[in-house]
Structures are given as structure tokens and as C-alpha cells.
Structure 1
């Protein structure tokens, strides 16, 4: 899920003497740092009534720390990892945010015929892509069948404020936690008086408003190549979140075959279709995050049909020979009717 934020304006804005707003424009400020094994960044326009940068950064990092402590599968002391390590039949009290994401995962699973699943961790570990992986290798059919016994939303239930499981399932929020964090950060910034910002966390993005020179926030969608970073399409955003899922950064090869880190819960194996990447644009970064994974699993035909049926703004990039072919949904074209394809 890799998107490069391009902060230079599309065109130079000349400030004539009559355009006094240009002479007194509010400054563009930024901060960032490490988070969730990756990084985050916030760029915002500092206007009147906006809190100090130190206050904004402290609030953002508190949100990120809370999300990590609640939802990370890469730390043994997180709430969800304690639940994952517990035996079948366990119920644990969980904060509202965790229960909200479990409910969303169940909804996406049901609406996609099982193509989305938050309980894939045993299979991810088995294939070498999870937090408890030992090595990247093709497992036996027997090992896959055994792991699938511990996968499935049907084994989870919510009882009041508790999350319960009737099998030794493990919940993995990596497909939606970053989008959730971005939405929370955006809401926090707005509560502190920020009306124009670009927020990014581990590749998930959300933008609102315009930069001081009046130019829109612009982000570049990368071409799905593993040898270099090439911008394929540029989007102008205002009030929208963006997420891209792809098979081109995290994979291994064995006997001449490529195995993606994106697993299909319905088969227990990595996806094998020609879809290289899919980008979803949605007012909620949380849903953009989850839906990009869902569509990536479904593939170019089934995924495109699902996106059109659900009215999603999505861009599909499919491998064709040595190159790529793009296909966008009607909702995507309506949002970006005349956007240029290169920065």
C-alpha cells in the first residue's frame, strides 16, 4: 500500500497586488515520525485558531500509540495479541474501537462471500507473511487445511463489550488499522481547528482543503513495479481517503512462481490472478483500506464487478504481458473526470 504524496502545486500561482490573500497566506507546516513499523506524516495549513504544532503532534502520536497498543500483532502486550494467544472459549473486554473494527470485518466478509477475513493470521504465518512467520515457503496441503480450521469470522462473536472466540482464532487488523488511525487523526486535527491537511500513516492517506497557494492536495499512485517507483496517476483530493493494495512489494518466488502476501481466505493460498494493484478512494480511510484489500483478493473481473455494484471509486491495474492495463469504475471517473496521469 504505497502512495507518494506530491506537495508541489499543479501550476504556479501568480500573486498580483490585488490578490492580497496570496501575500498573507497561512503557512504550510508538517511533522512526522515512526509508527507501526513504518512511518507517518502530517502536513497542514496553520490558520488562525489552530493549536500549536507541539500540541498537534502530541495528540497525533497519542492516537497512533493507542492504536498500536490495542491492535498490533507485532507486540505481545497489545490487547488483540493477548486475545490471539488465549485459548478457545475465551472472552475478553475490548475498547469500542476494536469491537467496531471486528464488526466491520464481519460485514466486509459477508458482503464479499468470504474474500475479506480478519482471522487470517494462522495462514499468514504459515506462508511466511505473518508476525509469527518462520520462513517464506509453500506449505503442504495438509498444513493449509490444518491452519484453515483456525480461520473464519464464524468463530468470533461480540458479547456486550467483550470479544469471544469458540476456536483458537487470531485476529489481524493490518488490513484496516492504518486507515482507522488516519480517520482518527483527521478528526483530531479538525477538532484542533485545522481545516486543510494531508495525513499519511503506513501508506494510507486522507486529505482535506487546499494548500496556502490555493493548489489542491495531490497524491501519486505508483505503477505496481518492484524494481523502481514510478508515478502512474495523480489524484487531487479534498475530503477523501485513499488506499492502494498490491502484490508487488511483499512476495517470494519458488520454482519460478511468484507468491503474493495477499491471501485468499476462500482457498487459504496467495492470490493467483493478474491484478497487480487496486486503489480505492472513499470519504473514510478505514473503508478505503479494507475495500482495497477485498478487491485485491477478488481480482480483476470479480473485483471490478463488485466495485461497480457497490458504487465504489476504484482503479484496477492488471498485468498484461510486460506492461500494465488500467481500468476505473464509473464512480472513480466521476470523482476524477479529467485528472492527468503523470505528475
Structure 2
């Protein structure tokens, strides 16, 4: 097995952001000054948080949310890029992914404020236009305006975008083999020093503890997971996920326990994982197949977990559970 050459050293970096932590793992020459790399990574992640947070009243996103209907608002290019991609995935998903659900997220207590029963009742079942129908973007002039009242929330896409920016930062420092992540969103480039792909755990959808379910091997690709087990509330003895269904105006029902999406862009994988959760197991699988996505669906069947995949064309990349019910190792290489 190959080992890290003696003129190279392993760097493991991390820091706080967005209520969680970012991380970067890579090998570089012993002559490499790691301080500017760490600083650049932290600055890029904080730029995303500063522009796109719903927890910070001064963020560019919240400034846009406060703007009157019909008024053009200037936005930075990064926010424009994420909103434009979010609207496009909203169209492609038939509205399952919608960046205009901020009022519903807040009503159910998944934002900076507590649950608001009156707002929850108002949102449930109320007909609403999708963000891609209401938001007008002038990408040349970096201006946006709303044509109807709408509260934007980018929690289903901004972390993936931050991961993509982290990988771009390492590219500027000519680092070609790395694994970066932010919470459950990760992206890999190149390979480990032993010549193997980067290995990450696919998390077991457990409400009580964090534990691996299976393993993914990433080679020049990104991965993002959306699930019902990490952020939820209990209402009437029932756990309700933080994933909001635009058609319901409240938490998605009938969703699988988790959906993991793999692709070139972590921003896209992040948004599509949410969209497929909203669609539910069968409709989500059909949508993933139609859009050419590689996705892993995990559903609860009684006390057991059932795993299914869409988009795998090579039988060696996925082995179904054997008769013992064991969950196999998964690998993905683009």
C-alpha cells in the first residue's frame, strides 16, 4: 500500500460556521504554508453565511426578504448564483424544491424563532406560488425583485454551495487531492495518498445517535443527504421533519428516512436531496431517474431499514442486502 511521501504532510482543518463546522482534509508539501489556506477557507465559508443566513438580520438574503414587492434589490454575485440555481432546480423538480418557503420554515420553528401556531395554521393548505414563478432576476445588473410577498430561505442549498467554494479555494492553492465538508454535505477531488478514493460514511437515519450505515467512496464528486432524523419536532406524538413540502405548507409527510444524492456539484446535490425527500419514495425515485441523478433512498420498514438506489449502471457499484438483511458497502466513482 502506498504511503504519504516523506516530503508531504496531512492537513486537517476545521472551524465553526452556520451552526455547525466546516472541515478540510488534504496532503501538501512540507513547504506549504497552511495559514493562508485555512484563512481563505474560513473567509469563503463565512462569506456564504454573511450573505445567505436567515439567522442574521443583516444578511443580504434578509435584506432582500424585507424589500417591498416590486422593488429592485441589488445583491452580491454569490447570492445571485445560488438563487438562480435554486430557481432552476425548483422548475426542474416541479416545485418540490422551493427557496420561497422561509415563512413556513419559521412558522414551524426551524428558523431563529419558536413555533408560531397561528402562522402554522395559516400556511397549511394555503395556495402559494413557487419562488421561480414570483422572483425576477436580472443577472447582468445583479438585481432581484419579488412580484408577490415571499420569504426566501436557502438552507437547502447554501451549505452545498459553501462546500463547492471550499474546493475552489483549495484549487487556487494547487491542491488536487482533498476532501471538504460542511455538516452532511461533502465533496472530494483526487484520491488519498494510498491511491484509493476518499471514504465517507452514509449515516444511519437514527433519531437518538449518530452512527454509520454504509460507506461511500468518492472520487471527484460531491454528496449531500437530506433526512428526517436530525432536525424535527414532535406534535401530537408524531415526529415531523424540518423538510417543508410546498404543496402542504408544512412538514413533508410520506418521505423516506433519508435521501442521498451524488454528483459533480455539492450545491446541486444538496438541493436535489431535499427535492427527492419532498417527492417521497416512489415519486422521488421516478424524478431522480428522469433527471439522471444518482441517489440512495433509505426507508423504514417496521424496525428495519431498506436501501434502494437510482442511477447506478455498474453492478459492482452497488450490492443489494443479502438474506441476513445486512446493509452492504456502497462505492461511487465518477
TM-score by length of 2: 0.89
**5+ residue gaps in structure 2?**
321-327
Alignment counterpart, residue 44 of structure 1, candidates 26, 31, 34: 26
State the partner residue of 2:64.
83
After superposing the two structures, state which structure 1 stretch, 90-99 or 317-326, moved more: 90-99
Give the 3 Å change call, closer, same or farther, for CA 338–323 of structure 1 in structure 2. closer
Query: What does residue 288 of structure 2 align with?
Result: 307
Alpha-carbon distance in 2 for matches of 1:338, 1:75: 45
Query: 1:196 and 2:177 equivalent?
Result: yes
* 8 Å Cα contact 2:260-2:297 kept in structure 1: yes
Determine if the alignment matches structure 1 residue 330 to structure 2 residue 311. yes
Shift of 1:275: 0.5
Q: Note if 1:63 corresponds to 2:40.
A: no
SS of 1:104's partner is helix
2:205 is equivalent to residue 205 of structure 1 = no
CA distance in 2: counterparts of 1:285 and 1:322, whole angstroms: 32
Aligned length, in residue pairs: 322
- Using the alignment, how far apart are the partners of 2:5 and 2:36 within structure 1? 27
Pair 1:119–1:73, CA change in 2 (3 A): same
The 1:177/1:156 distance shift into structure 2, 3 A limit, reads same
**Deviation (angstroms), 1:135:** 2.3
Post-superposition shift, 1:203?
A: 2.2
Q: Answer yes or no: is the 8 Å Cα contact 1:47–1:194 preserved in 2.
A: no
Which protein, 1 or 2, shows the higher relative CO under an 8 Å CA cutoff with sep ≥ 6? 1
Structure 1 residues 142 and 84 mapped into 2: Cα distance closer, same or farther (>3 Å)?
closer
CA deviation after TM superposition for structure 1 residue 321, in Å? 0.8
Q: Calculate the TM-score normalised by the size of structure 1.
A: 0.87
User: How far 1:276 sits from its partner (Å)?
Assistant: 0.5
Superposed, 1:88-127 pairs within 5 Å as: 88-127=69-108
Offset at residue 274 of structure 1 (A): 4.5
Render the CA deviation track for 1:60-89: whole Å, top value 9, x for unaligned: 111112111111111011111111122222
Which segment drifts farther, 97-106 or 294-303?
97-106
8 Å CA contact 2:107, 2:120 repeated in 1: no
CA distance in 2, matches of 1:290, 1:67: 16
Q: CA RMSD in A?
A: 2.4
1:26–1:212: 8 Å Cα contact kept in structure 2? no
